Amino acid sequence: MPISIVVSANTNPEPLLVINEHKLENQSSEPLAASSHYQYLLASSNKHFLWFDKTGLTLSGLSLHRLLADLGWHNLINVNVLKYSQYEQHDRVLTNGFVQLLHLSAIHYRQQIDVKSELLNAIVEDASDELLLSLIPAYDQISLLRTAISEYRYLARYQWPMLDDNFKPRLGQSHNQVKGIRQILTMLGDLPSKAQTKSRLDVYDSVVVAALKKFQGRHGLEADGKLGPKTYAALKVKPQMRVKQLQVNLWRWFSLPKVPPEKYLLVNIPGYQLSVIEDGDETVKMRVIVGDVDNQTPQMVTEINRVTLNPTWTPTQNIIKNELIPEYRQDFLSLKRKNFQLVKGYWKNVETREIDDPDLNLSKLLQSYRLVQAPGANNALGYYRFNIPNNYSVYLHDTPVKSLFRQSNRALSHGCIRLEDASLLAKYLLKADKSLHLDKMHSAIESGKTTNLPLKTPLPVYITYQTAWINEQGNLRLSPDIYHLDQKNAALAQFHATDSNSVITLSQNNF
């Protein structure tokens, strides 16, 4: 299970939210097109309701109801208490949700389908379950996140302790604030329930410190066991807010290809992690550095089609203007020491000029020259560059500065993705590609010359943005929302996003 839910005996649950007539009457009005879809489907199928019978929701209706609730289309309600007079309203909500899923699926995968006919055929042929299942991409994370959503919904029934983030406990101290901290850590499964004895309920001991470290690690924080501002902020996030965050992240999987290839590379931007997935198993894993807030790494689906050994680096205009020219003005030999040259022309007609004069007008020279860093140990791209076709001038590459991978916050680049162990990925790609040999890679690296190795079989690449995911051990991991995308309509597949709080967003049942 992703999280371990333990509720102490002295915690009083709040009642489950039950839908009522007032709630139904005040739901957001549906789009006109969706309303006409519902009337058409109802009339054409010759049914009184599409997802209800006299006893309540049908099995197909229940599957649709649960999926749409997990995606945030509507609040999860106790359908068993719905009155017969309320069936039509929820029947419309479910139908409109199904229609929007079909629309968005067609947009994502560039399909030309008649949504009304597709859904009508499924309803008439009693195949709506199969159609709904076909809209759900085949990733284990989808079912795992849905389980986590269910678990946090359960936690949302309980009153979340109030914490004072100015409170700084001493080891061994007894205090009422410690009671709340221990309660939260126990409910989330970070503090063993057996440690919650009557005599220790308000004691800040080594067990609490260990639990805090576990909690911090799961939330992408420095696991120092200290109650700093970031740790307090994470502890104070109520389960209702986590549900919304999980829903946003669940949606992001719906924007990826429905059926994953046998092998693909996955980069999780806020998780600072690269994985190669092979037949569902993680075969390569490493830390990465991604773009900072001002130079965000974009989400995309692409592929690695070429490995460049001993690459040159041609910095962007922004880097030249904001960093390299000011650096040259402070120390005119700094760029030469880093093996930068002014380059004009291509192939056999290349003309180079050294940057060793304090009076060069670089801005003017760069109107006819390019600023290029030669291959070498201090090249910004290291010894490996991995080409991924895209419109953002983004690629994966090595780096000479390995110490940065020890930092917890690794949103540090200008948008490209730096790899902790680029040679490991290069070896994996070349070993998998029958047309290339590792010996060729080693000899090319030693030569110091720039060498391009096209891949006969490109490796699919998914660059994603997941602030919540389930790791291989089955534990829910959360990371800081570094680009603040959880509070925006970041995933194209989301129905509609509205700001619900300063951290994350809630998907509503209007489009």
Length of the chain: 511
Residue with token string 């002295």:
10
| CB environment 83-119: b (16+ within 10 A), e (fewer) | eeebbbbbbbbbbbbbbbbbbbbeebeeeeeebeebb
134-169 per-residue burial string, b: 16 or more CB within 10 A, e: under 16: eebbebebbebbbbbbbbbbbbbebebbebeeebeb
C-alpha span between 503 and 488 (Å, rounded): 10
| Cα Rg of the chain, angstroms | 27
Q: What are phi and psi of 274, to 5 degrees?
A: -115, 135
Distance, in Å, from the CA atom of 334 to the CA atom of 353, rounded to the nearest integer, reads 15
Q: Tokens 């991604």 correspond to what residue?
A: 290
Residue 474 CA to its chain's centroid (Å): 17
CB 286 within 8 A of CB 420: yes
Three-class DSSP labels, 352-410 = EEECCCCCCCHHHHCCCCEEEECCCCCCCCCCEEEECCCCCCCCEECCCCHHHHHCCCC
Give the SS3 label for residue 61. Answer: helix
Biggest CA pair distance of the chain: 87
16, HSE (Cβ side, Cα atoms, 13 Å)? 12
**Distance in angstroms between the alpha carbons of the first and the last residue of the chain:** 33
Classify residue 23 as exposed, middle or buried by CB count within 10 Å of its CB (0-12, 13-18, 19+). middle
> Do strands 263-268 and 273-278 pair parallel, antiparallel, or not at all (unpaired)?
antiparallel
> What does the alpha-carbon distance between residue 473 and residue 218 come to, in Å, rounded to a whole number?
12
* 396-397 and 384-387 beta bridge pairing: antiparallel
Active-site positions read: 397, 416
